[in-house]
């Protein structure tokens, strides 16, 4: 199955993508994670992407589409994948459609995690990350020990683009460049809206229920 996870920054896309990918046994592909890996490892892609990411702007399509194409052509993607953070522009959405059409594949489902602007800013300004991928919120979802990950004992850090100022730019980029994609997938009849304000576990339940419904209709897993 090919699933696209849509939603504003900090809507829970990353968290829910991991849950879905585990459930389906397919890779979780996050363009944000790929860029951050490149930045941490000082690659040329990382140097280029960092100029935009630190300001809260989108990385140019040409580079983003190329890294995505390279990733989904890998062997482990042949039975499907969950896309988290791609497509983020109409141009990316159209490129993805043609990449998939070339290998006679198509998107099964696009899941839209809806949250309000206020909630986006609230979540981003309190977000703390662990290198294992787990995310916390200092007020509403703190770790058991302050600053330490419950899962791996790693030291928590704040993403450089998780300041209120950069968060506002990211939200603006989302509204202008990414939100129009929702209408495209709705038109194609593959969009499912999920209330992203509920507690994480309930959102996961809602998402997995929708996938279950779709699978039993299609007879695919
Ligand atoms: P979030 O959804 O919380 O903003 P991501 O990890 O998905 O976090 O993305 C972080 C940043 O990486 C974005 O603000 C953007 O600069 C860059 N990025 C990630 N995916 C894309 C994409 N598909 N196109 C352009 N830029 C991207
Ligand atoms: Zn951890």
Q: Which two tokens stand for residue 144?
A: 């058991």
Q: Report the residue among 12, 58, 135, 168 best suited for mutation to probe ligand 1: largest number of ligand atoms under 8 A from its CB.
A: 58
**In contact, 6 and 182? CB cutoff 8 Å:** yes
Cα of 135 from ligand 2 centre, angstroms: 8
Q: Does residue 90 lie within any of the structural domains?
A: yes
Q: Judge contact between 205 and 213, C-beta under 8 A.
A: no
Active site residue 186: no
Q: Cα(111)–Cα(150) distance, rounded to whole angstroms?
A: 28
Look at the chain and report how many structural domains it folds into.
1
> Does 157 fall in a domain?
no
Is residue 152 in a domain?
no
pLDDT of residue 108: 97
User: Within a domain: residue 160?
Assistant: no
Q: Is residue 124 part of a domain?
A: no
Q: Tokens standing for 153?
A: 């004992």
Any domain includes 78? yes
pLDDT confidence of 83, banded at 50, 70, 90? very high
- Active-site annotation holder among 88, 122, 128, 134: 88
**Domain presence at residue 126:** no
Residue 178 Cβ < 6 Å to ligand 1 = no
| Confidence band for 137, pLDDT divided at 50, 70 and 90 | very high
Active-site residue 50, yes or no?
no
* CATH number for the domain harbouring residue 176: 3.40.50.300
Specify whether the CB–CB gap between 167 and 124 falls below 8 A: yes
Instruction: Specify the pLDDT at position 220.
Output: 54
Phi, psi of 191 (to 5 degrees): -90, 140
Q: What is the pLDDT of residues 16-50, one digit of tens each?
A: 999 999 999 999 999 999 999 999 999 999 999 99
Q: Using one digit for the tens of pLDDT, what is the confidence trace for 47-67? A: 999 999 999 999 999 999 999
Domain span at 78: 2-118+171-218
- pLDDT > 90? residue 219: no
Instruction: State pTM to two decimals.
Output: 0.92
- In DSSP notation, 114-134 reads E--HHHHHHHHHTEEE-TTS-
Within-domain flag for 125: no
């Amino acid at each position: 199955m090919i699933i696209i996870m849509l939603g504003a920054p900090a809507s829970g896309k990353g968290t829910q993508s991991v849950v879905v990918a585990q459930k389906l046994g397919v890779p979780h592909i996050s363009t944000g994670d790929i860029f951050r890996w490149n930045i941490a490892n000082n690659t040329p892609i990382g140097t280029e992407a960092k100029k935009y990411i630190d300001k809260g702007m989108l990385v140019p399509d040409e580079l983003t589409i190329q890294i995505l194409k390279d990733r989904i052509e890998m062997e482990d993607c042949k039975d499907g994948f969950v896309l988290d953070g791609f497509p983020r522009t109409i141009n990316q959405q159209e490129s993805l459609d043609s990449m998939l059409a070339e290998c006679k594949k198509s998107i099964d489902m696009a899941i839209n995690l809806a949250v309000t602007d206020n909630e986006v800013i609230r979540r981003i300004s309190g977000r703390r990350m662990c290198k294992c991928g787990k995310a916390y919120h200092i007020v509403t979802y703190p770790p058991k020990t302050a600053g330490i990950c419950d899962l791996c004992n790693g030291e928590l850090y704040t993403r450089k683009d998780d300041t209120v100022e950069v968060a506002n730019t990211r939200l603006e980029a989302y509204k202008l460049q990414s939100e129009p994609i929702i209408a495209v997938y709705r038109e194609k009849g593959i969009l499912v809206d999920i209330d992203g304000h509920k507690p994480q576990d309930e959102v996961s339940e809602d998402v997995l229920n929708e996938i279950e419904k779709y699978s039993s209709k299609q007879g695919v897993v």
